Chain A
Amino acid sequence: MADSTTPIAASAATGEVAELPPSALVRQRTRAAWLFLLPTLIAMGLVAGWPLGRTFWFAFTDANLTDLTASQFVGFASLLSVIEDPDWWTTVWTTFRFALVSVSLETVLGLIIALTLNAQFPGRGVARASVLVPWAIPTVVSARMWAWMFNDIYGVINAIFLKVGLISEPMAWTAEPSLSFAAVVAVDVWKTTPFMALLILAALQMLPGDIYEAAKIDGSGPIRTFFQVTLPLLKGPLMVAIIFRMLDALRVFDVFFVLTGGSTDTMPMAGYARQRMFEYQEIGVGSAAATLLFAIIAVFTAVYMVVGRVNVGGEA
């Protein structure tokens, strides 16, 4: 597709616009562009740029919740108190482990679900819609639903596992750190796999059909076709989806907040930052932790933009 924003006056395709002085039209449209963007730019400056800048500033102060105006510049002291805190590194480790485990599971499950929903069968629309449901409800609600299912005494999961013989005694899913980590992953996988499945499904539907015809004629079985044809073709979109989800997983907060409460053994980075800010009232130290998280996300975003070859120009 040609660039849709080429000024008309410059395109020779339409003869009748020739009498419009091109520069006047271009000038008018450029002015309009900036006027049109102004409200959004102001809004973004107010709700994104300014608060982000203030957070960075607080990271170099000893700001306290009781009186933000009394904060003093302390250089790297706040950042150092985060880096020297073993609890911070526990949360870093938890967050990365969570991101790796849950995104891997979501990718595999998403692939399986997408391949299943890609087939032609009656009721496909309903199946697709039902897959969307976990994605649409608030994370807090799904976390609460699962927390009840995971309840150590009355939970349905322990009851089923006991019946089937998977476990011999009830497990404290939400109390024990290693188990509660598994519980958090389970909720996140349940909630976000649909998103993954839909992205993969969209990519699957763009694949040319004749390749599969050729594979069939060559006598390649379904499994071989998947590994030799489908997977290589999906590599690009899959990478983008994975990085996108990694970014999301590194910012995680809600699921942990509901399922594991405030213990630092099972807390994500965002939870640590918020706890320092509002429970210990150390806005400076909390902002330093938030700034570190921001830096990690920024690196991943840069990778995403390079790998995804993000199409910002409008040329396909």
Chain B
Amino acid sequence: MKVLKKTAFWLMLAVIAVYTLFPFYWAIVSSLKTGSELFEVDPWPKQPAYSNYVDVFTAQPFGQNIFNSVIVATAVVVLSLLLGLTASFALARIQFRGRKVLLLSVLAVSMFPQIAVLSGMFELVRWLGIYNKLPALIISNLILTLPFTVWVLTTFMRELPNELEEAAIVDGATPWMIVTRVFLPLLGPAMATTGLLAFIAAWNEFLFALTFTQSDNVRTVPVAIALFSGGSAFETPWGLIMAASVIVTVPLVVLVLIFQRKIISGLTAGAVKG
């Protein structure tokens, strides 16, 4: 009975692992196939070829696309953390009238469907003269990352001990000093977690990036991958697309493996206890 249970359990784990990881394996295998090999369903290429990985960067401005994504995601994270730090201190540690309303509005904004701001944002982007430029994506992505950053950082800030703040107040510290000198050093892990989640959100954002850019060399990675196409509908360059997908996936997998604990704590910090 015990052996049976153990076997069933490991079988279950194996099924979960295969289900989770098989698409990646298949993308890697396909990205190493060229020409007619791509159309044979072999579990491993007969002659692994790296030409797809070269073509992605020579036939497409994919290097530029990666660079764009890095710039946008980094700027969005820095802005969100800067703004979120002071805002979350106010919301977590100070009792003032209107605090609950503000917290609720932050939560409400994080539930916005992106499509509901799309036309208004489009007009704003045009009006600011940043259509088809990266700042358009940086500004629009804030709607995804800022409420979330404020919310998660507020959750973390609430857990900091009162005594620290009390001692600082007794020593005559202003709220600004408390945030920057007392709390910030303690918030390192929380900032890293929130920053990482915001980075992933901005890196993966699609709708704004698709709508507010036009030229190939302003596109971010997800848009580039979505719009890769061959000369006609019948020759989708699957090898190229798989190579690009693998290139994008690897750094994210590494990030996830290194920071898995932080990510899980961040994801569940924002979640609500029932």
Contact = CB atoms under 8 A, between A and B. Distances in A.
Contacts of B203: 138
Contacts of B51: none
Interface residues of B, number: 105
Contacts of B206: 138-140, 253-254, 257
A311 interface: yes
B29 to A, nearest CB: 9
A208 interface: no
B117 A52 contact: yes
Nearest to A253: B207
A179 interface: no
A116 B245 CA distance: 29
B73 to A, nearest CB: 11
A203 interface: yes
A159 B140 CA distance: 42
B121 interface: yes
B9 A202 contact: no
Nearest to B168: A8
Given A44-B147, A237-B274, A312 B103 contact: yes
Interface in B116-156: 116-124, 126, 139-140, 142-143, 146-147, 150
Given A133-B20, A138-B222, A274 B86 contact: no
A269 B118 CA distance: 13
B176 A314 contact: no
Interface in A217-276: 235-241, 244, 247, 250-251, 253-254, 257-258, 269-270, 273-274
B198 to A, nearest CB: 13
Given A39-B83, A140-B222, A310-B107, A8 B169 contact: yes
A55 B118 CA distance: 7
Given A127-B17, A132-B263, A55 B83 contact: no
Given A270-B115, A274-B118, A43 B146 contact: yes
Nearest to B6: A121
A48 B242 contact: no
A36 B100 CA distance: 16
A146 interface: yes
A74 interface: no
B260 A33 contact: no
A130 B274 contact: no
A68 interface: yes
Nearest to A58: B119
A280 interface: no
Contact of A32 (B90, B165, B226): B90
B241 A148 contact: yes
B75 to A, nearest CB: 13
A129 B257 contact: yes
B247 to A, nearest CB: 10
A128 to B, nearest CB: 6
A198 B200 CA distance: 17
Interface string B244-274: 0100110011011100100110011001111
A240 B26 CA distance: 35
Contacts of A309: 272, 274
B50 to A, nearest CB: 19
Contact of B264 (A25, A156, A202, A277): A202
B92 interface: yes
B175 A129 contact: no
B204 interface: yes
Contacts of A198: 264, 267-268
Interface stretch (A82-90, A96-104, A284-292): A284-292
B89 interface: yes
Given A30-B96, A140-B225, A156-B26, A36 B90 contact: yes
B95 A3 contact: yes
A287 B113 CA distance: 12
B44 interface: no
Interface string A14-50: 1011000000010011101110110111011011101
Given A54-B124, A132-B260, 7 more contacts: A29-B96, A37-B90, A47-B140, A148-B26, A148-B30, A149-B26, A202-B271
11 contacts: A4-B93, A47-B117, A119-B9, A143-B226, A153-B39, A156-B41, A237-B273, A244-B271, A257-B210, A290-B116, A301-B111
